[in-house]
Chains A and B, each alone.
Chain A
Amino acid sequence: MAHKITVFPEGNADSLLVELHDGRKLLFDYANRHDPEDESNRCVDLAAALKERLVAARRDAFDVVAFSHLDGDHIDGATEFFHLRHDPRYQGQDRVKIEDLWVPAALILEEDLKVEEAKVLQAEARYRLVQGRGIRVFSRPELLREWLRRRGIKLEDRERIITDAGGLVPGFRKEVDGVEFFVHSPFALRQNGELTDRNRDSLVMQATFNYQGRESRLFLSADSTHQVLTDIVRITRYHRNDDRLAWDVMKLPHHCSYLSLSDDKGKDVTQPVEDVKTLFETFGQRRGIMVSTSKPIPSDDGDDQPPHRQAANYYKGVAHASDGEFVVTMQHPKPSRPEPLVITVDGFGARVEKAIAAGSSIVTSQNAPRAGRRSPRAG
């Protein structure tokens, strides 16, 4: 079995599932934007789609669930879907368990959260950290010392579940497990004494898959701005870890926002700042796949919110030059009926699955229209 990456169409929101060749399942962000009441809503029901995959694998848990940060487009609906250990109100038969929860330090440390869902997830992460089980926190360890001390816990007793930027996540070796994870962010440079900024302290990682000796890399860029990406490129190159910037599959930052490329949107094409340009044009591999987890690309500039057509045009140019692909989740395979984007990772690298969905394969994959005689209105 090859490795499989599935990216769910949830509008401007992230949900990416990695299924390893051995069946392990790792979910990066959960944001269910499906709305059964709204006929124009084309988002996939993420809860149902994920459960379907778990049932098929006879599982009731994900091996890893990572939240890059606590914004709604990365966590919406998570507290309705997952079994949370810290509070029985979030437990029950049909909830899905999390073996290992991956969070950036900011998710533990952030104060005065406004949104209830974020508060609940933070409580869960904090509970697990105090318990010392079922969690991995991405941070410079020192940053958590005070928080732990106030709860009577020594940092030394939790260091094994804390991973600093510039290192690999323990427990995954590409030779054995078929994948390893390199942590780019959160990084110390930005955390030291500065105000917490979620998008700067988000979880950014590079996964390197190994399949029969062929290595393919997935870059998970969260909602990074061009400043964050610039820092990542510079720090990584400073440490001569250039191969940690390479990607065969790129989850594009922030739903195709121009701000991830430059402050200057550009007329038709956003020209990225130098280091970001390097990330895309030098480190992007031949026939690489760029995935914009976003709504369809607009044809005009009527909406300030991403996706921005200028950013999309830049990515399309990168795809053209490398014989690669630029895929928008809400347009795949077509805007009228988006489907989860499936990327196979095997001995031939990564490829987007492209089966023609038509005829009976369509009929059995969706509900049939209402049939039968409707009951008479009265009598």
Chain B
Amino acid sequence: MAEEPFYLEAPGEPVAPEDLRVPKARDLARVLRAGKLQYCRFLECRRVEEPRKAEAVVFEVEVELAQHLEHDIRRREQVAAVFREDDALWPEALALRADFPLVPHVNATSSVGGELPRSLCLYDEPYHEIKLSWTSIAFIERIRDWLARTARGELHAEDQPLEPLLMGPAWSLVLPSDPFEGEEESPELLGVYAVEDKLGGYTLVARRLADEQEHAGLQYVAVSVVADAKEHGIVRVTPTGLRRLRDYLAEAGMDLFGELRERFTSWRRSERFLDLLEKRLVLVVALPKTRHAQGFVETSEVWAFAFMETAGEIGERLGVWEAVDGHYGQVLGEAGPDLEGGDVDVIPLNVSYAFSREEAAALSGYGNPDRRKIVAVGVGALGSQVFMNLVRSGYGEWKTVDPDKLLPHNLARHELSGYAVGFPKADALATVANETIEGESVAIPIVADVLSPGERSGEVTEALAQADVILDASASVAVARHLARDRETPARRVSVFFNPSGSAGVMLCEDARRASPLDWLEMQYYRWLISEPELGDHLRRPPGRIRYARSCRDLSATIPQDLVALHAAVGSRALRAALGEETARVALWSTNEENLGVEHSELAPTEAITRRVDGWTLLTDRWLLEKISVWRQKKLPNETGGVLVGAYDMERKVIYVVDALPSPPDSKEWPDLYIRGSRSLVDKVREVEEITDGQLRYVGEWHSHPRGRGPSPSVDDRRAFDWLKEHLGVEGRPATMFIVGERDVGTYVGEMP
């Protein structure tokens, strides 16, 4: 049995329970005095006048005590609950036992000042949240739970970060994510800018000093020192003076004044640092911490302090030099062990770290950053937002390619803000990305039009050649086709865009082998639109929306930012997923504009069959050839046929044969003859054109040969082909005819052999 404990007196003067005025204090006293609760016993009430008006209720709790304890918590503990009259902060729980141990989650000082009685740190939620569900019983249980867990050493869940050694200051310091990476003998100096927080505090932002030019604008300069390893979790009183800090660090095996003298002396020797003596000093101390006394170093706790005196003044008081006519001269002889004059005030700083690429990935729930090289072509509304979504999650090493500058009307939907009006989008966006992610740049801008890069041609070509991925967010079919067909690079091409009404987002992603190139994915997307009745309105333009150009990926429409953000959110996630797999993807997300539901649909893309004939490149696929073969089978022994739909790229002389329409009802189908009819055909073709916004059109004819016959053209076939040539040739388009034979399909473009 432990010795009978000695209890400290609770703050304030005794007062009758009936005379309590603070409602929460009254209620706690009432609950305790009713005597209906187990494991707690009322002792007394008190009124506190200093440092601020408060009332205290003193009681004893019985702790759910295990047999084997990590910390010396007793079966019975006396607690004073102190309630501020203004109820502005959590009621404080003071453990009154005189030898109550110094354990984790104890506040550095209590409201009555000093380390004793110990003030239990009960809550990590803001008080205004806790107030909502406040009951006296829950408060008592919180205290009992705190004591029971602390006894078992369980209050630190294993995955929780370690206790900060110093608590509660209002000033903050932002350090680089790897502040102690510098050379061992002299850790780097950091330049510090001060940002006022308008609440009476400052945030000091520290950066590595690249060159002396940077010294001018600095308010502070930071030096860092590293102490020996120390067991974690014991919060001490925050040092408020340099001497006290020295004493505390002495426990961690550090001679602080000696360290500082050494630093200052080395500055003094180097001309480069002389002007820094005029800056106020920030001291950064790394304390490697272990979870248990003999454990391995788990984290390095970092403290930082700001001084109101300059480095030069502190150096002078440490006897490193003397100020003579505003210049610091070296003191001859040994410096004394102490600080000259009164103590130097220190302001403790809350330390946080710059947002690194690793942090970006971790905070987004992705283990590691992904460093694949991505060229973003087009960083407009959708592109800029997809880009930043991915950057913020540590994804990609980027080049941003865009010729446009940010104009006021862009602000409706662009990632950039009004600060960037007039700047090239590619430039400004790369700057935002690089300012967001600390360290090596994540984005390099190339202000150029990928279609006519001019003097940037070499840069663009090199970027595309080295890329792992080319992200086309240009909202331009021409750019997509250019990237698909004109650029020699193994990079996977991906397009993201939304439809003219803004109701649906689309992603076309090549497979890793590029067997389904981007332009062929585009064609399949159109084929999908004409085959799926629900997608019939997909490319329909909403009436009354502003149109700058006729394009099915019209960007400058009156689409609200929330829809763009939605498609950007879907797009960045989908992109990440698609690039994580090898296969090609054609996916579409439709938003219901009334209830804002998003529905995903997906096509299984086919590989392209490419043939070069008569100066033209023909692209089609097995899917289409099989479709017309099946129609032949069904009509045997008769011949059958119909028209082909697809698209021309007149610039590159590419013909895409995408789909076939069935034989019109007035066609003549005999075992050795087929005359394609025309009933409703004009309407059918017009429907295809309407659904695809003119992207798919009539491109030629197909018909079948009877049983046992191959696809070689007959005399009649040649005559029909000549008829096609005559009509299509007027438009500069080649005649195209597919003939389905017994075993294969003949594809004739331009000329018949």
Q: What are the 5 tightest A-B residue pairs by CB atom distance, in nearest-first order?
A: A349-B67, A348-B66, A287-B67, A351-B66, A354-B64
Q: Which A residues are CB-close (under 8 A) to B2?
A: 323
Query: B137, A356: Cβ atoms under 8 Å?
Result: yes
Question: Which residues 341-379 in A have Cβ within 8 Å of B in the complex?
Answer: 344, 346-359
* Chain B: CB-nearest residue to A361: B137
Residue interface mask B544-568, A partner, CB < 8 A = 1: 0000000000000000000000000
Contact of B1 among A321, A350, A358 (CB under 8 A): A321
Contact of A351 among B39, B64, B137 (CB under 8 A): B64
Q: Complex: how many Å from CA A344 to CA B135?
A: 27
Query: B67, A354: Cβ atoms under 8 Å?
Result: no
Q: Which A residues are CB-close (under 8 A) to B1?
A: 320-323
Q: Complex: how many Å from CA A322 to CA B140?
A: 27
In this assembly, does B141 line the interface, its C-beta being within 8 Å of a C-beta of chain A?
yes
In this assembly, does B451 line the interface, its C-beta being within 8 Å of a C-beta of chain A?
no
In this assembly, does B36 line the interface, its C-beta being within 8 Å of a C-beta of chain A?
yes
The interface on chain A, measured as residues whose beta carbon lies within 8 A of the other chain's beta carbons, has a size of 28
Query: A349, B66: Cβ atoms under 8 Å?
Result: yes
* Chain B: CB-nearest residue to A350: B67
In this assembly, does A334 line the interface, its C-beta being within 8 Å of a C-beta of chain B?
yes
Q: Can you report 11 residue pairs joining A to B where beta carbons are below 8 Å apart?
A: A285-B67, A287-B66, A320-B1, A333-B39, A346-B66, A349-B67, A351-B64, A354-B39, A356-B137, A359-B135, A359-B137
A351-B65 contact in complex given A320-B1, A356-B140, A356-B144, C-beta closer than 8 Å: yes
Q: Complex: how many Å from CA A35 to CA B311?
A: 83
A353-B64 contact in complex given A323-B2, A348-B69, A358-B137, C-beta closer than 8 Å: yes
Q: Complex: how many Å from CA A285 to CA B66?
A: 12
Residue interface mask A313-352, B partner, CB < 8 A = 1: 0000000111100000000011000000000101111111
Q: Chain A CB within 10 Å — which of B68, B135, B137 has the most?
A: B68
* Chain A: CB-nearest residue to B66: A348
In this assembly, does A53 line the interface, its C-beta being within 8 Å of a C-beta of chain B?
no
Contact of B68 among A344, A349, A356, A357 (CB under 8 A): A349
In this assembly, does B38 line the interface, its C-beta being within 8 Å of a C-beta of chain A?
yes
A355-B67 contact in complex given A322-B1, A323-B75, A333-B38, C-beta closer than 8 Å: no
Q: How far is the CB of A285 from chain B (nearest CB, A)?
A: 7
Q: How far is the CB of B72 from chain A (nearest CB, A)?
A: 11
A356-B67 contact in complex given A322-B1, A323-B2, A323-B75, C-beta closer than 8 Å: no
In this assembly, does B96 line the interface, its C-beta being within 8 Å of a C-beta of chain A?
no
Q: Complex: how many Å from CA A348 to CA B152?
A: 7
A residues lining the B interface (CB < 8 Å)? 214, 216, 248, 285-288, 320-323, 333-334, 344, 346-359
A348-B37 contact in complex given A320-B1, A355-B141, C-beta closer than 8 Å: no
In this assembly, does B163 line the interface, its C-beta being within 8 Å of a C-beta of chain A?
no
Q: Complex: how many Å from CA A333 to CA B144?
A: 16
Query: B40, A356: Cβ atoms under 8 Å?
Result: yes
Query: A354, B37: Cβ atoms under 8 Å?
Result: no
* Chain B: CB-nearest residue to A214: B68
In this assembly, does B231 line the interface, its C-beta being within 8 Å of a C-beta of chain A?
no
Q: Which B residues are CB-close (under 8 A) to A347?
A: 68
Q: Chain A CB within 10 Å — which of B40, B63, B137 has the most?
A: B137
Residue interface mask B125-158, A partner, CB < 8 A = 1: 0000000000101001100100000001000000
Contact of B38 among A323, A334, A359 (CB under 8 A): A334
Contact of A356 among B39, B65, B66 (CB under 8 A): B39
Contact of B67 among A321, A351, A353 (CB under 8 A): A351
Q: How far is the CB of B292 from chain A (nearest CB, A)?
A: 15
Inter-chain pairs besides A351-B66, A356-B38, 15 sampled, C-beta below 8 Å: A214-B68, A216-B67, A286-B67, A321-B1, A323-B2, A333-B38, A344-B66, A346-B66, A349-B67, A350-B67, A354-B64, A356-B141, A357-B38, A358-B37, A358-B137
Q: Complex: how many Å from CA A359 to CA B34?
A: 13
* Chain B: CB-nearest residue to A349: B67
Q: Which B residues are CB-close (under 8 A) to A216?
A: 67
Q: Which A residues are CB-close (under 8 A) to B63?
A: 354
Q: Complex: how many Å from CA A209 to CA B68?
A: 15
Q: Which B residues are CB-close (under 8 A) to A357?
A: 38
In this assembly, does B62 line the interface, its C-beta being within 8 Å of a C-beta of chain A?
yes
Query: B66, A350: Cβ atoms under 8 Å?
Result: yes
* Chain B: CB-nearest residue to A289: B67
Q: Chain A CB within 10 Å — which of B38, B64, B69 has the most?
A: B38
Q: Complex: how many Å from CA A347 to CA B66?
A: 9
Q: Complex: how many Å from CA A287 to CA B38?
A: 20
Q: Complex: how many Å from CA A10 to CA B159?
A: 43
Q: How far is the CB of A333 from chain B (nearest CB, A)?
A: 4
Query: A248, B38: Cβ atoms under 8 Å?
Result: no
Q: Which A residues are CB-close (under 8 A) to B137?
A: 356, 358-359
Q: Complex: how many Å from CA A202 to CA B170?
A: 69
* Chain B: CB-nearest residue to A351: B66
* Chain A: CB-nearest residue to B135: A359
Query: B37, A356: Cβ atoms under 8 Å?
Result: yes
Q: Complex: how many Å from CA A356 to CA B137?
A: 8
* Chain B: CB-nearest residue to A288: B67
Q: Complex: how many Å from CA A348 to CA B40?
A: 23
Query: A348, B38: Cβ atoms under 8 Å?
Result: no
Q: Which A residues are CB-close (under 8 A) to B75?
A: 323
Q: Which B residues are CB-close (under 8 A) to A248?
A: 67
Q: Which B residues are CB-close (under 8 A) to A287?
A: 65-68
Q: Complex: how many Å from CA A7 to CA B270?
A: 77
Question: Which residues 38-66 in B have Cβ within 8 Å of A in the complex?
Answer: 38-40, 62-66
Residue interface mask B66-82, A partner, CB < 8 A = 1: 11110000010000000
* Chain B: CB-nearest residue to A362: B36
Q: How far is the CB of B175 from chain A (nearest CB, A)?
A: 38
* Chain A: CB-nearest residue to B151: A348
* Chain A: CB-nearest residue to B145: A355
Q: Which B residues are CB-close (under 8 A) to A349?
A: 66-68
Q: Complex: how many Å from CA A100 to CA B75?
A: 39
Q: Which B residues are CB-close (under 8 A) to A350?
A: 66-67
Q: Which A residues are CB-close (under 8 A) to B144?
A: 354, 356
Q: How far is the CB of A204 from chain B (nearest CB, A)?
A: 23
Query: A358, B36: Cβ atoms under 8 Å?
Result: yes
Q: Which B residues are CB-close (under 8 A) to A353?
A: 64
Q: How far is the CB of A369 from chain B (nearest CB, A)?
A: 17
Q: Complex: how many Å from CA A334 to CA B144?
A: 18
* Chain B: CB-nearest residue to A216: B67
Residue interface mask B380-397, A partner, CB < 8 A = 1: 000000000000000000
Query: A348, B135: Cβ atoms under 8 Å?
Result: no
Q: How far is the CB of A345 from chain B (nearest CB, A)?
A: 9
Q: How far is the CB of A339 from chain B (nearest CB, A)?
A: 10
Q: Which A residues are CB-close (under 8 A) to B152?
A: 348
* Chain B: CB-nearest residue to A336: B36
Q: Which B residues are CB-close (under 8 A) to A348?
A: 66-69, 152
Q: How far is the CB of A225 from chain B (nearest CB, A)?
A: 28
Q: How far is the CB of A336 from chain B (nearest CB, A)?
A: 10
Q: Complex: how many Å from CA A248 to CA B144?
A: 23
Q: Complex: how many Å from CA A288 to CA B135?
A: 33
Query: B66, A354: Cβ atoms under 8 Å?
Result: no
Q: Which A residues are CB-close (under 8 A) to B65?
A: 287, 351
Q: How far is the CB of B147 from chain A (nearest CB, A)?
A: 11
Q: Complex: how many Å from CA A271 to CA B2?
A: 24
Query: B38, A354: Cβ atoms under 8 Å?
Result: yes
Q: Which B residues are CB-close (under 8 A) to A333?
A: 38-39
Q: Which A residues are CB-close (under 8 A) to B40?
A: 356
Q: How far is the CB of A360 from chain B (nearest CB, A)?
A: 10
Q: Which A residues are CB-close (under 8 A) to B62?
A: 354
Residue interface mask B17-42, A partner, CB < 8 A = 1: 00000000000000000001111100
Q: How far is the CB of A170 from chain B (nearest CB, A)?
A: 29
Q: Which B residues are CB-close (under 8 A) to A358?
A: 36-37, 137
Q: Complex: how many Å from CA A321 to CA B39?
A: 20
Q: How far is the CB of B74 from chain A (nearest CB, A)?
A: 8
Q: Complex: how many Å from CA A264 to CA B67?
A: 32
* Chain A: CB-nearest residue to B69: A348
Q: Complex: how many Å from CA A321 to CA B67?
A: 14
Q: Which B residues are CB-close (under 8 A) to A214?
A: 68
